[in-house]
A and B are shown apart, each in its own frame.
Chain A
Amino acid sequence: MSQKVYIAGVGIISAIGNNVGENLASLKDTKAGMQNMERLQSVHKDKLPVAEVSLSNEDLCSELKLPNHISRSALLSTVAAKEAISNSGINIHKWRTGFISATSVGGMDKTEDFFTEFMADHPNGDLKNVVNHECGAVTEITADHLGIRDFVTTVSTACSSSANSIFLAARLIRQGFLDVVVAGGTDSLTKFTLNGFNTLMILDSQYCQPFDENRRGLNLGEGAGYLVLVSEKVAEGMNQKPEIALSGWCNANDAHHQTASSPDGTGNFLAMKGALKKAGLKPADIDYINLHGTGTNNNDIAEGTAIKNLFEGNYPPVSSTKSFTGHTLGASGAIEAVYSVLAIREGLIFPNLRFETQMKEIPFAPVTELQHKTLKNVMSNSFGFGGNCSSLIFSKVIG
């Protein structure tokens, strides 16, 4: 029997709060994070609402004592990862500790500044702004800040990136390669991604309405989320043994199209089914699904259809917390993993904001108001470009 992997701590920064407490309060008070673009400088400023983290780069740098040229992705990552570690109360230096991060934009925010000058003339552009362009560079800034060296890596599979970093952490702990892993992901808002999604014509010019018949698209967000995953042995030694474990996970590929999901959500279905199998659970055991739920026509129909086919009448309560945070891309899997852990810990099902009209293709509707309920198993879905589909299951551990 393989050993369990426990969640010993969580950390998060998003448009609805700079830490776990603030995020939870916003989720309870149904306070969404979208608004007009303030920090990001773009020609689409007044047309496309986004969900920005309230702290400026200067605020973040001074809080972390990091230099000003550091990518915002790294700053957000460091804040959330530090919180996760302190939340766990574990002395990470006592154990073989890894840092597995994920990002889709990496240091692109600074590269954009560099590139404008570089394009004017190739000897131009401050190299300081491009030296941390690579995704891995962003991870290293945080790893070095935390003093983690035993294992450091970065996943990048678009919008499922940080779900993948979490299951890799679990596997490496189960196999005795590491004792403690800080795993999750980060992405800051950039012009690159804003314009990229804009060319795909899937950005909503209003606040997004996931799983609504009249949904129009997604709002981009930014943030970072991390979990501290620990082995049975580390868990045993803690003052209070963690009550939540990562019990199941699966990555599957839709293999349908580079960006679009297949109409029946083949990849989504396989990921959810595989995660249930890994956890040894039946569909009826799932008490809540935190949806990928971007609010695009294509995602919601694919995900909805996959749930319809897999759960066949036993539909658990579902909601998309992207209606609060926007779509935080490479960070979304981890941010929603943190929310899933909070859902179990607090006994809460978070609402899906702005839902109005039932989608005609699926027989269930998302939860629209905060519900108090004891939850045992929570599923979190993350699906990305390249058909990359991941599902995680968090479970309350008895005894």
Chain B
Amino acid sequence: MSRIIKMGVAAAMEALKDAELPMPDAIVTGTAYGCLADTDAFLTRMVEFNEELLSPTSFIQSTHNTVGAQIALMLHCHHYNNTYVHRGSSFEAAVLDAQSLIEEGEAENILVGSVDEIIENSHTIISRFGIYKESESNKLLNSGTNGTMAGEGATFFVFSKNKETGSIAKLEDIKTYYKTNRKAENIIHNFLMENNVRVDNIDLIILGNNGDAKTDEHYNTVAQHLFGGKRLVGYKNYCGEYPTSSAFALWMAARMIEHGKKINDETSPKKILIYNNYKLKYPSLYLLSAC
């Protein structure tokens, strides 16, 4: 079993255990790159051995739905299983599918998540596009230099139609856009209006700053225009930049709300807005509140 499958399965099992859900009604996964290590292994050997002596296992596991399928296999889950592979909105597509399944009455408790991995060759290739910082920095978000740092991760959630006793938070809304002409400020403003929320009501805003000076300027401008005086935090200093990183932000937001509830702290956030905009092409918004 390759690393990405292990990461995905581990995160999925933890989410199910946490939710005390033995069998989800559906499993929906998002991944931009899919199982890179197996794809790389198969391609490399195909080139090296001129299309001979290839491993069937790498081919099978290179398939994009391998992680979702492995989870189903381990759970003996015969229910709905789908995988989205759309770059910076792969996780968002999975969340939207889950929401739609609930609305259609096809599922009530859904395992939703995302996985993406870094491998040596992908890092080398992506580096050639000049996306990553050349020297190490332990202050990713305040470096003031160009380039970000590569990240990876697996994040899974259990989404439920109804509030359960153990529910951590309520996902009020999610929105994602594809190459929109609209300004970020405009999108965010509309999103809040649609949810009857004023900036004043939001306790914390999680932004997708990734340490690249140009990208961060975008987030900082948005913050200046819309969120003056609000509590703002980044998250990519923990997980790095990758196409499905907004799942990490959502996990972080949920944990913060849960923690606040546990310690019964007045000042802990009860309503959190997440704004990530991968490569400034895939703006996505999440609104999460205590429940």
- Known contacts A152-B178, A171-B104, A255-B78; A199/B64 CB under 8 A: no
Q: Which residues of chain A from 165 to 212 have a CB within 8 Å of any chain B CB?
A: 168, 171-172, 174-175, 177, 191-192, 195-200
- Known contacts A153-B93, A195-B46; A253/B34 CB under 8 A: no
Cβ of B43 and Cβ of A111 under 8 Å apart? Answer: yes
Q: How far is the CB of A385 from chain B (nearest CB, A)?
A: 5
Cβ of A387 and Cβ of B72 under 8 Å apart? Answer: yes
CA–CA, A115 to B33, complex, Å? 16
Cβ of B104 and Cβ of A252 under 8 Å apart? Answer: no
Of A80-88, A154-162, A214-222, the stretch lying at the interface with chain B is: A154-162
Q: Which residue of chain A lies nearest to B33 when distances are taken between CB atoms in the complex?
A: A134
Contact of B85 among A136, A149, A270, A387 (CB under 8 A): A136
For B, the interface residue count at a CB cutoff of 8 angstroms equals 58
Q: Tell me if B145 counts as interface (CB < 8 A to partner A).
A: no
Contact of A130 among B55, B100, B125 (CB under 8 A): B125
Cβ of B80 and Cβ of A154 under 8 Å apart? Answer: no
Residues from chain B with Cβ under 8 Å of A199 in the complex: 54-56, 59
Could you mark each residue 40-58 of chain B with 1 if its beta carbon is under 8 Å from any beta carbon of chain A, else 0?
0011101110111011100
Q: Tell me if A259 counts as interface (CB < 8 A to partner B).
A: yes
Contact of A118 among B61, B100, B125, B180 (CB under 8 A): B125
CA–CA, A255 to B55, complex, Å? 23
Q: How far is the CB of B262 from chain A (nearest CB, A)?
A: 35
Q: Tell me if B170 counts as interface (CB < 8 A to partner A).
A: no
Contact of A43 among B52, B84, B100, B129 (CB under 8 A): B52
Residues from chain A with Cβ under 8 Å of B178 in the complex: 143, 149-152
Q: Tell me if B10 counts as interface (CB < 8 A to partner A).
A: no
- Known contacts A118-B125, A127-B129, A139-B86; A385/B63 CB under 8 A: yes
Cβ of A115 and Cβ of B59 under 8 Å apart? Answer: no
Cβ of A149 and Cβ of B78 under 8 Å apart? Answer: no
- Known contacts A43-B50, A136-B90, A258-B73; A155/B104 CB under 8 A: no
Interface residues, chain A, CB within 8 Å of chain B?
42-44, 104, 106, 111-112, 115-116, 118-119, 122-123, 125, 127, 130-131, 134-137, 139-140, 143-144, 149-158, 164, 168, 171-172, 174-175, 177, 191-192, 195-200, 251-259, 266-267, 270, 384-388
In the complex, besides A112-B43, A136-B32, A144-B179, 7 extra interface pairs with C-beta distance below 8 angstroms are A136-B86, A136-B87, A152-B86, A168-B97, A195-B46, A195-B59, A253-B79
